[in-house]
Structure 1
Amino acid sequence: MNRTIIIVDDHKLFAQSLQILVNSYEGFEVTNVYKNGEELLKHFSDGKASPDLILLDMRMPVMDGLATMKWLKENNPQQKVLTLTVDQEDENIIKMLRLGCRGYLLKDIDPEEFELALNAIDRTGYYSNTTISEALSREERKQKYEELTTRELEFLNHACSELTYKAIAAEMNLSPKTVENYRESLFSKLHVKSRVGLVIFAIKEGICEV
């Protein structure tokens, strides 16, 4: 029996093309196409069957992908959803994953990877790719950055220079022991083991330039 799929996307031409593509894959069949989340909600309120998978766009009028995903989490948390969108904002990727989205694909994806994603979600329940892993990595670095104190950031800037730790202590009007404590605190917070690691983090986050 084919796995049933509902497409929710307001771009009619894209949705129709996507339907043709999905139906060309073995074991999958598009049963409904809706223009926005509100139409999808009506599908459920009318008592129609839940599909095996929903392909959900992010940017839609009336009810967008994020609002739709929030409703699904509250009312149908077991429903599998795969986001298919042009939206590359890390914040939205993280939000959708936290709401229970099983994968996040950009619309310029190769048809081969798209089919792989459908099968992966059908088989394991999830599909992860570089879009997700890179967003999660950037989110983790952002959280680490936000944990740093003003003095730790000041020390980090000095650590990117050629100053020795002793010279950094003099520059910051601190004892060498206090500077050592800042260093160890940053090692722990940023999960690095050397001054080189500190510098690499600072460059990636735009904290300092070398």
Structure 2
Amino acid sequence: MKTSIAIVDDHRLFAYSLSDLVQKFDNYEVTIVAEHGRDLLKYLNRGDRPQLVLLDVHMPEMDGFTTAAYLKQNFPDIKVIALSMMDQEDHVVRMVQSGARGYLLKICRPAELRQALDDVCTKGYHYSASLTERLVKVLDPAKNDAPTAYFKFSGREHEFLKMACSDLTYAQIADKMCVSPRTVDGYRESLFEKMNVKSRVGMAIAAIRWGFFKLQK
């Protein structure tokens, strides 16, 4: 069965061109093309339920931030990939915290779009390595408002998470924590399980989504 997709973008020519492109991909079909978030809600309220939404960030009525947050609250099973002409870090973080599983620039190649769709459907998220690297460099681990108790992190696991969401290598983290690389491996595997992720990139994105770190000002 094909994965159903809604495209939400106020630029009609772009939206329908994107729809034509996605329809050419195996295993995907576009079932909704909406002009803005409020338009998408009309489809949802009458029973249409796409499995994935390609969502423009900037729209005149109910923008991407508001729409993503609404979907996260009311339709958590619908996965969202944000689309934008800009890759500003604060926009990326806001969309991730609003529930977006990926963030694509509208100038990306069709192959990257296809990869993003596949990744979100199979792994649960898609963020390019370059974008994630930029994000972790502007995170401020000192500003920590996260629900640590929710994940039942130990003090050392929490300390490891702060360092893992940086450009330090695992060997450097082990040195700073004064533990063996094997112990760091244990922290990593424990956090992967508790946060339901499978990679360091996924851990960093989950940390942003849950509000562990904020952008430096």
TM range (shorter): 0.5 to 0.7
* Structure 2, unpaired ranges of 5+: 145-165, 173-217
What is the DSSP-based 3-state SS (H/G/I as helix, E as strand, rest coil) of the residue aligned with 1:78? coil
Aligned partner of 1:196 in structure 2 is none
The answer on whether the counterparts of 1:104 and 1:131 sit within 8 Å (CA) in structure 2 is no
The answer on whether the counterparts of 2:65 and 2:95 sit within 8 Å (CA) in structure 1 is yes
Task: Determine whether 1:24 maps to 2:11.
Answer: no
Aligned partner of 2:121 in structure 1 is 122
For residues 110 and 6 of structure 1, the distance between their equivalents in structure 2, rounded to whole angstroms, comes to 19
Aligned partner of 1:12 in structure 2 is 12
Q: Residues 145 and 75 from structure 1, CA distance in 2 versus in 1: closer, same or farther, beyond 3 angstroms?
A: closer
CA drift at 1:32: 0.9
For residues 113 and 144 of structure 1, the distance between their equivalents in structure 2, rounded to whole angstroms, comes to 30
After the TM superposition, which of the residue ranges 31-40 and 129-138 deviates more from structure 2?
A: 129-138
Q: After TM superposition, what 4+ stretches of structure 1 lie above 3 angstroms from structure 2?
A: 144-147, 190-193
Q: Structure 2 matches for 1:1-210, cutoff 5 A?
A: 1-46=1-46, 48-130=47-129, 132-140=131-139, 143=140
For residues 101 and 88 of structure 1, the distance between their equivalents in structure 2, rounded to whole angstroms, comes to 14
CA drift at 1:135: 4.0
- Which digits, 9 at most, give the CA deviation of each residue in 1:68-116, with x for residues without a partner? 0111122112210011111312111011111221100001111111111
Percent of aligned positions that are identical: 38
For residues 56 and 112 of structure 1, the distance between their equivalents in structure 2, rounded to whole angstroms, comes to 18
For residues 130 and 86 of structure 2, the distance between their equivalents in structure 1, rounded to whole angstroms, comes to 11
What is the DSSP-based 3-state SS (H/G/I as helix, E as strand, rest coil) of the residue aligned with 1:69? helix
CA RMSD of aligned residues (A): 2.4
What is the DSSP-based 3-state SS (H/G/I as helix, E as strand, rest coil) of the residue aligned with 1:108? coil
The answer on whether the counterparts of 2:136 and 2:167 sit within 8 Å (CA) in structure 1 is no
CA drift at 1:146: 7.5
For residues 62 and 131 of structure 1, the distance between their equivalents in structure 2, rounded to whole angstroms, comes to 31
For residues 31 and 91 of structure 1, the distance between their equivalents in structure 2, rounded to whole angstroms, comes to 31
Number of aligned pairs? 149
Counterpart residue identity of residue 43, structure 2: H
* Structure 1, unpaired ranges of 5+: 148-189, 194-210
User: Which TM-score applies when normalising by structure 2?
Assistant: 0.63
